Amino acid sequence: MSDGATRHLTEFATTRRGVEAWVEPATAVTGPTLLLVAHDGEWTRRSIPSASWGHSFAEHLGMPGYDAGVVGYPQRMRDWNSRQKGR
């Protein structure tokens, strides 16, 4: 994982309110990823070395961490995406 990706995730998590983490499993096309979603639905995603890395990252920053395949994604993220399309 690049230092830039770690810096980006850390910056996003520490400059927004109510950030939660969704650890996304590897697929046939991509490795595992970490999705961060802020209180207003703004989100970012980066590739991570492993699911355990993603959970450790969330724990280190004191944010809730979820398994995306189990919990699903928050409505606020979909709402934010819809608002961005209207811009």
pLDDT for residue 87 = 66
For residue range 2-21, what is the model confidence (pLDDT) as tens digits? 789 999 999 999 999 999 99
Q: For position 74, what pLDDT does the model report?
A: 93
Give dist(CA 53, CA 34) in Å, integer.
9
Position 2 scores a pLDDT of: 74
Residue-wise pLDDT for 31-70, tens only, equals 999 999 999 999 999 999 999 999 999 999 999 999 999 9
Give the strand order in the sheet containing 33-37. 43-47, 33-37, 20-24, 65-67
